[in-house]
Amino acid sequence: MKKILLTPRLVESESYAEKRDAIDVRWAALLSELSLLPIVLPVSSDPAVYLNEIEIGGVLLTGGNSLSTLESNALSEIRDNQEKRLLELAFKRGLPVLGVCRGAQFLSQYFGASFERKEGHVAVRHALELSASCAASLGEAEEAASGRVVNSYHDFVITEVCEDLEVLARAEDGTVEAFRHSRLPALGVMWHPEREEPFAKNDLRLLARFFSGEAK
């Protein structure tokens, strides 16, 4: 079974005076449905140890915690520093990296992207606008390349990406909803596949194809 390394959000428990790694239990359910084994990387751990000791088949940057460059926060800075190290190691090894929501923001920021705070993207659903040529990378059928409705839970939107990133989908307001790197196995989506009930078939195809290396 292929092992996928997941980064959790970092939260602070006031009642117990603890910093905690936290991850939605639905990620395990979603990955298990695809016969992928989730391995959670604690924020305080060295990514190199996990990559050296465990045969990791891919990396998944999950949501939660705003980027420290967008909202100054000590917890976010800790997570940003670790995920930067993880990305560098993953790309050197040729591992596929999928960023979801905050993970997509971090991935795009790593390569150079522009952001802005925008209303209308929290706890809503909206349609995607994408071309038929991008459909397969996002788990879509070519005949249904536009109009898919996805969830949205982010305060900050990606407005522009660097030339190394290809935009695969935009929201109706023109903000970036999905992208991939032109050379590296890196893909980012701004919606949450794990929050769909039941899981969307498109998202299941997306993850299966991406972590199998079939996505182009």
pLDDT of 129 strictly over 90: no
pLDDT of 138 strictly over 80: no
How confident is the model at residue 195, as a pLDDT?
97
Candidates 101, 126, 154, 177; catalytic one:
101
Q: Is 101 a catalytic residue?
A: yes
pLDDT band at 132 (very low <50, low <70, confident <90, very high): low
Mean predicted confidence (pLDDT) in 119-146: 74
Q: Which of 104, 120, 114 is nearest to 178 (CA)?
A: 104
How confident is the model at residue 14, as a pLDDT?
84
190 membership: H or E segment, kind and range: none
**Summary mean pLDDT of the chain:** 91
Candidates 53, 143, 192, 197; catalytic one:
192
Buried b or exposed e, range 63-88, using 16+ CB within 10 angstroms? bbbbbbebeeeebbebbbebbeebbe
How confident is the model at residue 131, as a pLDDT?
66
Candidates 33, 154, 194, 214; catalytic one:
194
How confident is the model at residue 63, as a pLDDT?
95
pLDDT tens-digit readout, 6-51: 999 999 988 888 999 999 999 999 999 999 999 999 999 999 999 9
Cα 216 to Cα 203: distance, rounded to the nearest angstrom:
16
How confident is the model at residue 115, as a pLDDT?
95
Cα 113 to Cα 43: distance, rounded to the nearest angstrom:
24
List the domain boundaries for the chain: 2-212
pLDDT band at 143 (very low <50, low <70, confident <90, very high): very low
pLDDT band at 182 (very low <50, low <70, confident <90, very high): very high
pLDDT tens-digit readout, 150-178: 999 998 999 999 999 999 999 999 999 99
The domain defined by 2-212 carries CATH number 3.40.50.1170: no
